Amino acid sequence: MRVRVATTALGITAALLALPACSTDTTGPKHQPSSRTGKPTEAAQEPAALSSAALESLLLDESDLGSGYLPKPERPAQHDDVIVIGCPALSELGGDAATGGTLAFPHKAEVDFTYGGSSSEISEKLYSDSTKKLSDGVGRIFDVMSGCSAYQVVSGGTPVDVTSQKLPAPTVGGDEQWSLLLTFTAGERSTVVKQTAIRDGSLLLVISGSLALVDRHLDKALAKATATS
């Protein structure tokens, strides 16, 4: 069976990132503080969460990206179980998350683009919640994924080998930053996906896609998402 690795990769990545937000496990690896310095947000200064409608207006659009980008049609909802093999910590967080799932925060918005008529894709997701929930949820899953350098994910009967590599946190801004390089291999085809998350107060930005596209648009995405903060 021919597998479209690029689509599978981004979908599985989203599914893996959905795990910590719905997990009740408290024994897994704890997220280490970001290398960025700064004082934790005090309770009295906790920024208000943004609504999904407000987040929608902060997403990148075609005018921000430039020529050659087309919105990707929304994928039909997937309900295939996801089985994780070779990474017990990830399995304990709930390996049956639905492929293509999103983080289980109350306020969210997302957009996906293809570039140049090729298989290159970029996905932007914005979330809003309390600073502690955002930090704990995303920090845990990035720790688990970077702690398992190689594992396999089976979604809908399709096995995909995954290798992960922790990257230096971006220095573009925000209060906390995480970044991973993920390689997805199905059969003889491989796709490399860069995934970067930045928390700025009560807002979380997650950018996924080809290395060049993520690096090209990360600054712009963060600037637009935090323009009103």
pLDDT digits (tens, 9 = 90+) for 61-113: 999 999 999 998 776 655 556 788 888 887 776 543 323 345 778 899 999 99
Q: Which residues have a Cβ under 8 Å from the Cβ of 144 and sit 6 or more positions away?
A: 20, 28, 29, 87, 89, 90, 93
Question: How many other C-beta atoms are found inside a 10 Å radius of the C-beta of residue 79?
Answer: 9
Query: How many angstroms separate the CA atoms of 154 and 158, rounded?
Result: 5
Contact 182, 195 (CB under 8 A): yes
pLDDT tens digits, 147-197 = 889 988 887 788 889 899 999 989 899 999 999 999 989 888 888 999 999
Task: Return the closest-CA partner of residue 215 out of 204, 226, 207.
Answer: 207
Whole-number Å distance between alpha carbons of 14 and 154 = 14
Mean per-residue pLDDT, 115-140: 89
pLDDT in tens, 42-60: 455 788 899 999 999 999 9
pLDDT at residue number 165: 93
Coil, strand or helix at 128: strand
Termini Cα distance of the chain: 48
213 phi, psi to nearest 5 deg: -70, -40
Please report the beta strands in 34-95, taking only residues with DSSP state E, as ranges in sequence order: 69-71, 82-85
pLDDT recorded at residue 102 = 59
Q: What's phi and psi for 122, nearest 5 deg?
A: -140, 135
Four-CA torsion 130, 136, 141, 146, nearest 10 degrees? 130
Domains located in the chain, CATH noted: 5-24+47-225 (3.40.1000.70)
Beta-sheet strand order (sheet of 176-186): 69-71, 107-115, 121-128, 203-209, 189-200, 176-186, 158-166, 150-155, 82-85
